[in-house]
């Protein structure tokens, strides 16, 4: 059973906070956390992520970016990443955990969720929709 889910992106301010919030809402009782492979430690979620989530009734106001650690990887039963670059970065650092690392959009042709950092709000809206779909697909399988 996947009781502890870790969601990763690059900076832990755009994509993974959205996914963390959506998964927490969809999977009460499970431990869902997020971090960044190259986190902007201590930063709040990107204002566009906050705004897009707020429109859906999700509050990211308390989010602060965290850096991925080996302890986080060890504790996670499932690690969801946003793109192939994340898998490529994690595999040499944590080869023993490769089997539990999967893309958020695994069930959608294993597509990437593009990084919206410093992009217009419309990109964040697209990313939110993709992560929402990925969340629904994962929840059905967990």
Nearest to 81 by CA among 59, 62, 100: 100
* Token representation of residue 53: 């989530």
Say what the pLDDT of residue 1 is: 79
Catalytic-labelled residue, pool 9, 46, 53, 83: 9
- For this structure, is 141 an active site residue? no
**Residue 16 is part of which domain span?**
4-141
Q: Are 116 and 83 in contact (CB under 8 A)?
A: no
Catalytic-labelled residue, pool 14, 15, 46, 66: 15
Catalytic-labelled residue, pool 112, 114, 115, 137: 115
Output b/e per residue, 111-135; b: 16+ Cβ within 10 A: ebbebbbeeeeebbeebbebbeebb
- For this structure, is 59 an active site residue? no
Does the model's pTM come out above 0.85?
yes
Per the structure, the count of domains in the chain is 1
pLDDT digits 0-9 by tens, 1-56: 799 999 999 999 999 999 999 999 999 999 999 999 998 899 999 999 999 999 99
Any idea what the CATH number is for the domain that residue 50 is in? 3.40.50.2300
- For this structure, is 9 an active site residue? yes
CA 56 to chain centre: 17
């Amino acid at each position: 059973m996947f009781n502890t889910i870790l969601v990763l992106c690059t900076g832990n301010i755009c994509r993974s906070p959205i996914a963390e919030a959506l998964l927490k809402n969809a999977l009460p009782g499970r431990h869902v956390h997020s971090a960044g492979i190259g986190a902007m430690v201590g930063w709040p979620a990107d204002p566009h992520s906050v705004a897009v989530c707020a429109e859906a009734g999700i509050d990211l106001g308390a989010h602060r970016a965290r850096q991925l650690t080996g302890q986080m990887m060890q504790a996670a039963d499932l690690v969801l990443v946003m793109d192939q670059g994340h898998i490529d970065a994690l595999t040499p650092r944590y080869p023993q955990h490769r089997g539990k690392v999967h893309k958020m959009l695994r069930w959608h042709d294993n597509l990437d969720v593009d990084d919206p950092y410093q992009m217009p709000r419309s990109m964040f809206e697209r990313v939110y929709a993709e992560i929402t779909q990925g969340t629904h697909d994962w929840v059905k399988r967990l």
